[in-house]
Amino acid sequence: MAKLEGKVAIVTGASKGIGAGIAKALASEGAAVVVNYASSREGAEKVVGEIIKQGGRAVAVQGDVAREADVDRLFQATQTAFGRLDILVNNAGVYQFASIEDVTEAHFHKHFDLNVLGLLLTTKAAVRRSVRRAGASSTSGRA
Mean pLDDT by 10 residues, the chain (143 residues): 92 97 98 97 98 98 97 97 96 90 92 93 92 50 44
What pLDDT is attached to residue 96? 86
- CATH architecture for the domain at 8-134: 3-Layer(aba) Sandwich (3.40)
Residue 52 neighbours by CB under 8 Å, 6+ apart: 58
Q: How many helices (H) and strands (E) does the chain have?
A: 5, 4
What pLDDT is attached to residue 131? 59
Residue 123 neighbours by CB under 8 Å, 6+ apart: 88, 90
What gap in Å lies between CA 65 and CA 53, rounded to an integer? 27
What gap in Å lies between CA 15 and CA 112, rounded to an integer? 21
The whole-model pTM stands at 0.87
What pLDDT is attached to residue 81? 97
What pLDDT is attached to residue 136? 44
What pLDDT is attached to residue 135? 47
What gap in Å lies between CA 10 and CA 129, rounded to an integer? 13
Kindly state the helix (H) or strand (E) to which residue 60 belongs, with its residue range.
strand 58-62
What gap in Å lies between CA 95 and CA 138, rounded to an integer? 34
What gap in Å lies between CA 56 and CA 26, rounded to an integer? 10
